[in-house]
Amino acid sequence: GAVVSQHPSRVICKSGTSVKIECRSLDFQATTMFWYRQFPKQSLMLMATSNEGSKATYEQGVEKDKFLINHASLTLSTLTVTSAHPEDSSFYICSARVRQRETQYFGPGTRLLVL
Amino acid sequence: GENVGLHLPTLSVQEGDNSIINCAYSNSASDYFIWYKQESGKGPQFIIDIRSNMDKRQGQRVTVLLNKTVKHLSLQIAATQPGDSAVYFCAEDTGNQFYFGTGTSLTVIP
């Protein structure tokens, strides 16, 4: 099946620093990648949708200057949490899809802890 | 998202029994539906999908039923095993929008 990787799997950083998370589709070309955030015992919250070569579309309430998304190629998208604060601590998950009405394949997630 | 802040409903079943997890979807324009399984600390894993031109689809030990009349989706797991313990999410896709359900936490009792 389709494989999506994320790196790093876990990161601890100091408040005020920036953290970059990578999402890669390993065996397929992803026209669209998605970034989600998940709090304990809750569903996934879509943060933004990115299409290769285009600017990301952010969901309401998600600050685009805070969460920078770059989708430079059909196999790589990055999420940068800028000036991270403790409230940004969460589980961040990416997914990738070839086309509309096709399955989104998810990465293993990145656990971010901001001290 | 629409499901922000909602806590997960739970389902406990005895090992070997069949499990049924239900999902109500909201958008009548949705024509593609997916079930995912999420284990603790991991990303969601694809289980099975179904398109709106079907009302039933079977996989290995899993069956998805779709009732478009009442906008209801269910996942049936046959002979539930301890390894099936996880959170299960339904998702609906309109082509333009993709929605995740609140999820159901399944616990299998040995």
Q: What is the mean pLDDT of residues B12-25?
A: 96
The one-digit pLDDT tens for each residue of chain A (115 residues) are 689 999 999 999 999 999 999 999 999 999 999 999 999 888 899 999 998 888 899 999 999 999 999 988 999 999 999 999 999 999 999 999 988 878 999 999 999 999 9
**Using CA atoms, how far apart are residues B91 and B76, in angstroms rounded to an integer?**
16
pLDDT of residue A113: 97
pLDDT of residue A40: 87
Cis-peptide into A86, omega within 30 deg: no
**Whose structure tokens read 């990303």?**
B43
Name the band, by pLDDT with cuts 50, 70 and 90, for residue B109: very high
Is A103's CB within 8 Å of B34's CB?
yes
List phi, psi (to 5°) of B77: -115, 120
Q: Report the DSSP beta bridge partners of residue A38.
A: A44, A91
Chain A closest-CA separation from residue B78 CA (Å):
23
**Using CA atoms, how far apart are residues B49 and B56, in angstroms rounded to an integer?**
10
- Express each pLDDT in B26-75 by its tens digit: 899 999 999 999 999 999 999 999 999 999 999 999 999 999 999 999 99
Length of chain A: 115
Kindly give the pairing relationship between strand B104-109 and strand B10-14: parallel
Residue of B nearest to A93 (CA): B43
pLDDT of residue B55: 97
**Using CA atoms, how far apart are residues A56 and A64, in angstroms rounded to an integer?**
9
pLDDT at residue B5 tops 60:
no
Q: Which two tokens stand for residue A86?
A: 């403790």
| Nearest of B52, B110, B54, B53 to residue B80 by alpha carbon | B110
Q: Nearest Cβ partner of B93 from A59, A101, A107?
A: A101
- Whether the CB-CB separation of A97 and A30 falls below 8 Å is answered with yes
Is B1's CB within 8 Å of A100's CB?
no
Strands, E assignment, chain A: 4-7, 10-13, 19-25, 32-38, 44-51, 57-58, 67-73, 76-81, 90-97, 105-106, 110-114
Is B91's CB within 8 Å of A6's CB?
no
Is A103's CB within 8 Å of B100's CB?
no
CA A34 to chain centroid: 6
